Chain A
Amino acid sequence: MKTTIDLTRIIPPGRTGLRERIGMLPNISSERTKTLKGRIAGAKAVTSVCSYCAVGCSTLAYVSDDGKLLEVEGNPDSPINAGHLCPKGAALFGLTVNQMRWTTVKYRAPYSERYEERPLAWALERIAHLMQDTREKTFVKEKDGRRVNHTLGIASLGGATFSAEENYLLSKFMHALGVVSIENQARI
């Protein structure tokens, strides 16, 4: 694979005249500049996978000592992407660290025109009771003389954006309730 030619290597150090003619003068830099480090210098690199398409590019997430995400880059070790990322993958940082991200529960009451902030624990409790209530109202034990033990009153959608383990847990949970309409993007 051809890369940019590094003239500093092919022009011997002694040939200062040539270096000057092509503008390769040593940079003037302050003492402060000399002490500056790259954003990810010394940061912990955590191996992850890109969450966009299904090519499975390996990524390195650089994390500061105090647990902040600094940058996401392609993992050069990967036999799939060898360090490369596409525009989406290269912007992974912005998916996790983003002012517009919703990191709290939003609740919209019946007939309301707005969302309200509610505590997570409250929302979970309310949802659990709604799930139970709907299940109780819609559970069917038999249909046309055959055991069905299901509810068509609850449906679940999504799966292709989260892990295999989470898919396993979601379907295990839904099947325990008797939910059969469990679907994800594979069909969409």
Chain B
Amino acid sequence: MPGLGTSFGRGGATVWVPDLVNADCILIEGSNFAEAHPVAFRFVMQAKDRGATIIHVDPRFTRTSAVADIYAPIRSGTDIAFLGGIINYILSRDKTFKEYVVAYTNAGHIVGERFEDTEDLDGIFSGLDRETGVYDTTTWAFERDERGMIANDPTLEHPRCVYNILKRHYARYTPEMVERVCGTPQSVFQKIAETLARNSGRERTTAFAYAVGWTQHTAGVQFIRTAAILQLLLGNIGRPGGGIMALRGHANIQGATDIPTLYDLLPGYLPMPSALRDEQTLDAYLKRNTRKTGWWANTPKYMISLLKALYGAAATKENDYCFAHLPQLTGDHSMLPTTFAMKDGTVKGYVVVGQNPGASGQNAELVKAAMERCEWVVNIDSYDNETVSFWRREGADPATIATEVFFLPAATILEKDGTMVQTSRLLQWHDKAVEPAGDSQTDAWYFTWFMKRMKQLYAGSTDPKDRPIFDTTWEYEHDDPRERAKGEPSSVKVLQEINGYLTATGEQVSSFTDLKDDGSTACGGWIYSGVCPDKNTNRARNRDASGDYTALNWGYSWPANRRTLYNRASADPDGNPWSERKKYVWWDEIKGEWTGYDVPDFPKTKAPNTPANPAGSGLDFHSGSDPFIMMDDGKGQIFAASGLTDAPIPAHYEPQQSVVQNELYAQQSNPAMRTWTRTDNAYNKPVDDAYPYVLTTYRITEMSGIMTRYVPWLAELQPAAFCELNPELAVEKGIANGDWVTVSTALGEMEARALVSGRLRPLRIGSKGARKRVHQIGVPYNYGSMVALARGDSVGGLIPIAIDPNVSIHESKSLTCNIRAGRRGAFRPNAIDRDVSPSERRPEGQPDNAGAQAGQGRGLQHMQGDAAGASP
């Protein structure tokens, strides 16, 4: 996620899961770790056995809370206020790991005079265009000296240095304020802040773990940023038992971001060229997306090697390596804006593979109403689902729906081989166990069939627009004659192409450091380079877990098989371990190289005392003690002067739909968020008396979605949707445990069985004299009402689309709702199915504000991360 990418350099979890056992303290927030990632939670329990303190901060008391040493209740959506409070606690009591902060972060950087903070502008930063919700982020830039170097004050005394700006910014995030905003009792909050401080420093480390509880908010990226700042101040990044564990949801969510099926990314976090930026030629693209200093000085090597992998011999220096073959972006083409574009008639054909937006999408009714406007829909899946069968949903009349619908049966994971990338960036190969059932095919088989058929259908065309179809390489013939006869492509050959090879000989490259910008190498995804260093080696298939717990011979983690990222920071600036207890990677003076339990995330022979070369490019610009090699300046970014569109340092905003006014600033919610005010996407008012309760969503252990709802054993365990509320509210509403209830928002209604429990306790929030008792209602986000054994209304039908401006992630963890006893009755045809008025139409999906400017400011720095993170 860009929260991690802009802070540290890469958008992946910084932690190797088994390393959690080395933590002295683990803060779990925005995640129900024990229930959502149960098997990885064993490392948390092992850490606890070794004496670590486990802290869980969550709106709901779950099985994670039950085994935690400290549980803190929190109002959903207020985590920036909570973590900001801890930052204030750490700074005001001088509890930072100062040597780490001064040496490894940008705390000493001096911010330019044009910058104005939320303190000056009551909740917004300098540079905001109110009309469009777009920030001019140049006002956040660092001050530079006459040589162009960032001004820095290592004493941290300059009033405009990051450290002091941070101090002023978070001064109002006092324990009293935390209690007022979050509803977390001050005593519990203080205890957590003290525990984190006590378990950080030379001798001790604290790890953070989060999941979609932090990402799915209109300020979601800033939630992660707050955690990143805190971990930098405490000196916990790059060290054993430290870091930030981003717990991804789906089995290959990390891989689908690294080698992306995301509109704004090419493999390896290279940005997709955009017509909104000046990227019409390869030169212009490289100029925009190559950094003079830091690792991204290598962009030309990676981009040109990618073009060689995509277009083979057709890509030459003379034709810009076919750069013009890549389509260009003209806006935000992410899923939710595309849904509006589909409803308004722009999208004619929809291909959905292994995803069920008809139940799990936000404004799930809109998704289905939008598909009615498509001419054709293709769904590749293993089971009937709410998406493919949208035309026979409750309230729809098939006789009026012209869409042609195809269901293509898909092989399951056991019926094919390939690489899944788990939450610690670990590539793990799975072998094929059995043949696909019936007519089922692998997704790779389908894509291969379509690509080959397109080449045939367009044969003979001289239209330049069809050149990419001919020039796109597709040489993955299977070595096994039986598979070859079936037309099955070889996954190994695809992975070999992703790894990269020499174009002259076809020989594999052994690492991304072999890649060149002269067309002599091809590489489909530079970050995985090294996984297939020769034709007979597939390191994703390594299965030897012996040796250290880092298990370097089990699978292959990008980049270069490093388990813990930024691990240079596990040693002090001189290259010695910060302490014997927290020894991990260190400088071996005799051998003249970095060594330790992991692959060093640093140039192997660059000595700690290597001076920075101010005139140097790439990593030469960094000294031997700059651990964040991806970044321009080699430092962890406490202040993100560039890369994010809504804040350089996080400020608490209320969710787009909230139960209270923002206590901290006049600005109610994220001024840069994107909304669509239309009759088919109705919002509750920002604070709405008709919807007085907080609505939050979560996932349960036994369910995923369509992949579990048909499995009898699992359906028996969790047969239907439910709605969780506390006894006090239940009594008030006349609801008994097990009763039917109806939950409503301005967008829609759902019914479910009531689960009356003390797990979602009421909170007291607000200022003295105006204290308010807030009830939170929880609904699992696993169900759909149309098909399968386990059924229930999807909460997706209650959630209108509002998104964060950085990654277009929606807000589904903190909303407002009402609840009543009884069933919802028959589905009523509503505004969602109808065409909206011409003035509300958004043919390219653009939101209320920003319009065509959406996506314009995004570039390389922005792309260093998973789009959003841990989706379940």
Is residue A47 contacting chain B, with contact meaning CB distance below 8 A?
A: yes
Given the interface pairs A91-B714, A175-B326, the reply to whether A53 lies near B251 with Cβ below 8 Å is yes
A188 to B495, CA, bound (A): 26
User: How far in angstroms is the closest Cβ of chain A from B611?
Assistant: 39
Contact B262 A186 (CB under 8 A): yes
Contact A165 B418 (CB under 8 A): yes
Contact B261 A132 (CB under 8 A): no
Contact B495 A164 (CB under 8 A): yes
Contact A157 B438 (CB under 8 A): no
Is residue B234 contacting chain A, with contact meaning CB distance below 8 A?
A: no
Look across to chain B and name the residue whose beta carbon is closest to the beta carbon of A119.
B439
Taken residue by residue from 4 to 20, chain A's Cβ proximity to chain B (1 for < 8 Å, 0 otherwise) reads as 00000000000000000
Is residue B590 contacting chain A, with contact meaning CB distance below 8 A?
A: no
Contact B809 A187 (CB under 8 A): yes
Is residue A37 contacting chain B, with contact meaning CB distance below 8 A?
A: no
Q: How large is the interface on B (under 10, 10 to 19, 20 to 34, 35 or more residues)?
A: 35 or more
Contact A69 B434 (CB under 8 A): yes
Contact A178 B468 (CB under 8 A): yes
Contact A183 B275 (CB under 8 A): no
Question: B454's contact among A107, A128, A138, A162, by CB below 8 Å, is which?
Answer: A128
Look across to chain B and name the residue whose beta carbon is closest to the beta carbon of A107.
B406
Given the interface pairs A54-B870, A115-B407, A176-B454, the reply to whether A158 lies near B704 with Cβ below 8 Å is no
Given the interface pairs A88-B714, A153-B347, A157-B353, the reply to whether A167 lies near B707 with Cβ below 8 Å is no
B residues in contact with A104, CB < 8 Å? 409, 438-439
User: How far in angstroms is the closest Cβ of chain B from A137?
Assistant: 7
A residues in contact with B280, CB < 8 Å? 146-147
Interface residues of A in 66-107 (CB under 8 A from B): 67-69, 72, 77-82, 84-92, 94-96, 98, 100-107
A residues in contact with B407, CB < 8 Å? 102, 105-107, 115
Interface residues of A in 132-157 (CB under 8 A from B): 132, 134, 137-139, 141, 143-144, 146-157
Contact A159 B409 (CB under 8 A): no
Is residue B392 contacting chain A, with contact meaning CB distance below 8 A?
A: yes
A165 to B476, CA, bound (A): 11
Most buried by B among A126, A146, A164: A164
Look across to chain B and name the residue whose beta carbon is closest to the beta carbon of A130.
B376
B residues in contact with A131, CB < 8 Å? 349, 450, 454
Contact A141 B704 (CB under 8 A): no
A residues in contact with B263, CB < 8 Å? 180-183
Is residue A24 contacting chain B, with contact meaning CB distance below 8 A?
A: no
Given the interface pairs A108-B405, A111-B400, the reply to whether A80 lies near B39 with Cβ below 8 Å is yes
B residues in contact with A181, CB < 8 Å? 263, 333-335, 338, 341, 347
User: How far in angstroms is the closest Cβ of chain A from B505?
Assistant: 22
Question: B355's contact among A49, A102, A184, by CB below 8 Å, is which?
Answer: A184
A residues in contact with B554, CB < 8 Å? 78-79
Contact A96 B406 (CB under 8 A): no
Given the interface pairs A147-B328, A148-B330, the reply to whether A185 lies near B253 with Cβ below 8 Å is yes
Given the interface pairs A102-B383, A107-B405, A169-B448, the reply to whether A148 lies near B866 with Cβ below 8 Å is no
Contact A164 B342 (CB under 8 A): no
A131 to B333, CA, bound (A): 19
Look across to chain A and name the residue whose beta carbon is closest to the beta carbon of B398.
A113
Is residue B103 contacting chain A, with contact meaning CB distance below 8 A?
A: no
Question: B260's contact among A61, A155, A167, by CB below 8 Å, is which?
Answer: A167
Is residue B419 contacting chain A, with contact meaning CB distance below 8 A?
A: yes
Given the interface pairs A58-B428, A69-B433, the reply to whether A164 lies near B418 with Cβ below 8 Å is yes
B residues in contact with A170, CB < 8 Å? 261, 353, 443, 447
Given the interface pairs A63-B434, A124-B453, A128-B454, the reply to whether A161 lies near B250 with Cβ below 8 Å is yes
B residues in contact with A46, CB < 8 Å? 414, 431-433
Contact B261 A178 (CB under 8 A): no
A173 to B453, CA, bound (A): 11
Given the interface pairs A50-B251, A113-B392, A131-B454, the reply to whether A164 lies near B355 with Cβ below 8 Å is no
Is residue B384 contacting chain A, with contact meaning CB distance below 8 A?
A: yes
B residues in contact with A109, CB < 8 Å? 404
Is residue B352 contacting chain A, with contact meaning CB distance below 8 A?
A: yes
Binding site secondary structure of chain A: mixed
Q: How many residues from A make CB contacts under 8 Å with B?
A: 113
Most buried by A among B251, B418, B430, B434: B251
Contact B469 A177 (CB under 8 A): yes
A94 to B428, CA, bound (A): 22
B residues in contact with A151, CB < 8 Å? 327
Look across to chain B and name the residue whose beta carbon is closest to the beta carbon of A44.
B433
A91 to B42, CA, bound (A): 20
A143 to B442, CA, bound (A): 37
B residues in contact with A96, CB < 8 Å? 412, 414-415, 434, 437
Contact B253 A160 (CB under 8 A): yes
Contact A186 B867 (CB under 8 A): yes
Question: A134's contact among B349, B405, B474, B717, by CB below 8 Å, is which?
Answer: B349
Contact B39 A147 (CB under 8 A): no
User: How far in angstroms is the closest Cβ of chain B from A88?
Assistant: 6
Question: A47's contact among B375, B431, B457, by CB below 8 Å, is which?
Answer: B431
Given the interface pairs A79-B18, A131-B349, A176-B468, the reply to whether A84 lies near B39 with Cβ below 8 Å is yes
Taken residue by residue from 135 to 163, chain B's Cβ proximity to chain A (1 for < 8 Å, 0 otherwise) reads as 00000000000000000000000000000
Is residue B489 contacting chain A, with contact meaning CB distance below 8 A?
A: yes
User: How far in angstroms is the closest Cβ of chain B from A129?
Assistant: 7
Given the interface pairs A69-B434, A104-B409, the reply to whether A91 lies near B251 with Cβ below 8 Å is no
Contact B433 A160 (CB under 8 A): no
A residues in contact with B437, CB < 8 Å? 96, 101, 103
B residues in contact with A166, CB < 8 Å? 418, 442-444, 447
Given the interface pairs A86-B38, A168-B498, A188-B357, the reply to whether A54 lies near B707 with Cβ below 8 Å is no
Contact B443 A155 (CB under 8 A): no
B residues in contact with A172, CB < 8 Å? 310, 447, 451, 472, 474
A residues in contact with B656, CB < 8 Å? none
A11 to B854, CA, bound (A): 74
Is residue B351 contacting chain A, with contact meaning CB distance below 8 A?
A: yes
Look across to chain A and name the residue whose beta carbon is closest to the beta carbon of B807.
A187
Given the interface pairs A153-B347, A157-B351, A167-B256, the reply to whether A88 lies near B261 with Cβ below 8 Å is no
B residues in contact with A132, CB < 8 Å? 454, 457-458
Contact A164 B258 (CB under 8 A): yes
Look across to chain A and name the residue whose beta carbon is closest to the beta carbon of B377.
A108
Look across to chain A and name the residue whose beta carbon is closest to the beta carbon of B216.
A188
Given the interface pairs A54-B422, A54-B423, A69-B414, the reply to whether A146 lies near B252 with Cβ below 8 Å is no
Given the interface pairs A132-B457, A160-B249, A180-B263, the reply to whether A127 lies near B378 with Cβ below 8 Å is yes
Interface residues of B in 349-382 (CB under 8 A from A): 349-355, 357, 360-362, 375-376, 378, 380-382
Taken residue by residue from 427 to 467, chain B's Cβ proximity to chain A (1 for < 8 Å, 0 otherwise) reads as 11011111101111111101111110110011000000100
User: How far in angstroms is the closest Cβ of chain B from A82?
Assistant: 8
Contact B256 A150 (CB under 8 A): no
Contact A51 B413 (CB under 8 A): yes
A67 to B435, CA, bound (A): 8
User: How far in angstroms is the closest Cβ of chain A from B693?
Assistant: 24
Contact B447 A147 (CB under 8 A): no
Contact B251 A112 (CB under 8 A): no
A57 to B41, CA, bound (A): 12
User: How far in angstroms is the closest Cβ of chain A from B488?
Assistant: 12
User: How far in angstroms is the closest Cβ of chain B from A21?
Assistant: 35
User: How far in angstroms is the closest Cβ of chain B from A155?
Assistant: 5
The 6 closest A-B pairs by CB, nearest first: A56-B422, A103-B438, A163-B418, A159-B261, A150-B327, A54-B248
Interchain Cβ contacts under 8 Å between A and B, 18 examples: A57-B39, A94-B714, A98-B712, A104-B439, A124-B450, A143-B330, A147-B275, A159-B260, A162-B252, A164-B420, A165-B419, A167-B255, A169-B448, A170-B261, A180-B333, A181-B335, A187-B871, A188-B871
Question: Which A residues contact B (CB, under 8 angstroms)?
Answer: 46-58, 61, 63, 67-69, 72, 77-82, 84-92, 94-96, 98, 100-113, 115, 120, 123-132, 134, 137-139, 141, 143-144, 146-173, 175-188
